[in-house]
Amino acid sequence: MCEMRAFFEENGYYLARSVYSPVEVGRLEDEFDRIVRQISKDRKNGSANGNGVIGTRNVQQYSGLWMAALLHEKFLDIVERLIGPDIVLNHSTLFEKRMTTAKTPFHMHQDWSYLPTRMNTMIAGMIHVSEATEAMGCLRVYPGSHRHGRVEGSTATNAAFHEQFPFEGATAIEARPGDVTFFDYFIVHGSPSNRSETPRKVVIARMFSGKDRKEDVHQFSENLVLRGWNYHTTAETARKTVVKA
């Protein structure tokens, strides 16, 4: 675990192998596919776009099995090593990236641009439900780029940022079903289009320390405490009276 923490601090990401067993990930894939079928019937909750991606937020609102996956002891043990014992789920996101001939990648960016927190503890845990290869448009990262901190204009729509961090210079993170890629919200990352006939399936959990807080406490937050305590929950935020997209 110490080596894992050191690697994460140096590189800004860590690929944890076999966090979920083959039996567990098989059941999770069945539930994943069930969610995709459900959101395909209801475009208000899901979306399919020109880059071959269909997705939705908050798998735990669809499936008890996926809620259990986010509470998985081995998964949370790793998260605790990275951000401490108080673990708050901001939200989860399901992505199924299908084959497309269009050159429409999810360009390089930093996640802080979308989800800033005061203490910058936000990380992502990308749960690989399927294999992830270069041909399938797997995650690409710039190791060590998290040490730049907040880079202004680091969104997926900023062409100047993409020129500074082209896909060709990034490291491809290939993974197997049941692996989890953890990455800092400062690391520059993105993913190219899926060129294979096999869909790439991931669920990303975005989490932060319970001692930290969102700069916009209402920003599409579940704020579910997965482990420990949330020191900043109030009656207002618990009611989620205001939700901003």
Q: Among the listed ranges 39-48, 132-141, 170-179, 190-199, which one has the minimum average pLDDT value?
A: 39-48
Task: State the pTM of this model.
Answer: 0.92
Which residues are CB-contacts of 155 (< 8 A; sequence separation ≥ 6)?
109, 113, 114, 161
Is the pLDDT at 145 greater than 70? The verdict is yes
The domain of 18 spans: 2-239
Lowest-confidence pick of 7-16, 46-55, 120-129, 216-225: 46-55
SS3 59: helix
Q: Which of 122, 93, 68, 35 is nearest to 76 (CA)?
A: 68
Asked if residue 245 belongs to a domain, the reply is: no
How do residues 7-27 score in pLDDT, each as one tens digit? 999 999 999 999 999 999 999
CATH number at residue 201: 2.60.120.620
pLDDT given at position 241:
45
Cα gap 85→213, rounded to integer Å: 15
Q: Is residue 124 part of a domain?
A: yes
109 within domain boundaries: yes
Q: What DSSP state is assigned to residue 30?
A: H
- C-alpha span between 145 and 167 (Å, rounded): 14
Q: How far apart are CA 65 and CA 40, in angstroms?
A: 20
In whole angstroms, give the CA distance from residue 190 to residue 86: 28
pLDDT of residue 136: 95
For residue 181, give the nearest of 128, 129, 144, 112 by alpha carbon: 128
Q: Is the pLDDT of residue 244 over 50?
A: no
Residue 131 forms part of a structural domain: yes
Task: Please report the pLDDT score of residue 50 as a whole number.
Answer: 54
> Is 244 contained in some domain?
no
Looking at residue 6, the DSSP 8-state letter turns out to be H
Counting the structural domains of the chain, the total is 1
pLDDT digits (tens, 9 = 90+) for 23-58: 999 999 999 999 999 998 876 544 455 568 899 999
Q: What is the mean pLDDT of the chain?
A: 91
pLDDT over threshold 80, residue 110:
yes
Q: Is 84 exposed, middle or buried (CB count within 10 Å of its CB: 0-12, 13-18, 19+)?
A: middle
Q: Are residues 195 and 135 in contact, defined by beta-carbon separation less than 8 angstroms?
A: yes
